[in-house]
Amino acid sequence: MKNKKKVVLIVILIIIVVVAALAFLFLQNNESHNKELEDKMETASRDYFEKYVSANDSVNVYKVTLEDLETANKENGEEYDLKGLENCDKTNTFANITINYQTGKAKNAQVELKC
């Protein structure tokens, strides 16, 4: 009876370790995918800011939404790579662009994904 309990305990421990390893791999892959989408959004938002926003505005942070980028693609002939962002909320997926007032260029971008 003691040996049976040990075997069952070992099997349970192995299952727990395998499940933990799979969960870790899943989360790592998901984080990598989100980073890729954030990079796409940041690149497109910075370019959008440079082309369509005046640095003379009195704001030090400018919000560029996914909807803004899609509109620029459709109406202005831009070719922002937004693949993978199709299922994201158009107004709640955005990048906050921080402006460098010395150059008038985008200094920093913080992306918020709502997918």
What's the pLDDT tens digit per position in 60-110? 788 999 999 999 999 999 999 999 999 999 999 999 998 877 777 888 899
Question: pLDDT confidence of 57, banded at 50, 70, 90?
Answer: low
CA distances from 89 to 25, 68, 85, 92 (A): 26, 12, 9, 5
pTM of the predicted model as reported, rounded to 2 decimal places: 0.64
pLDDT at 59: 64
Q: Are 111 and 80 in contact (CB under 8 A)?
A: no
- Write down the mean pLDDT value for the chain: 86
**Residue 53: DSSP 8-state:** -
Q: Are 95 and 111 in contact (CB under 8 A)?
A: yes
Instruction: Report angle CA 15, 32, 43 to the nearest 5 degrees.
Output: 170
Residue of higher predicted confidence among 97 and 5: 97
Which residue in 91, 101, 94 sits closest to 59, CA to CA? 101
Return the amino acid letter for 12: I
Which residue in 56, 101, 86 sits closest to 69, CA to CA? 86
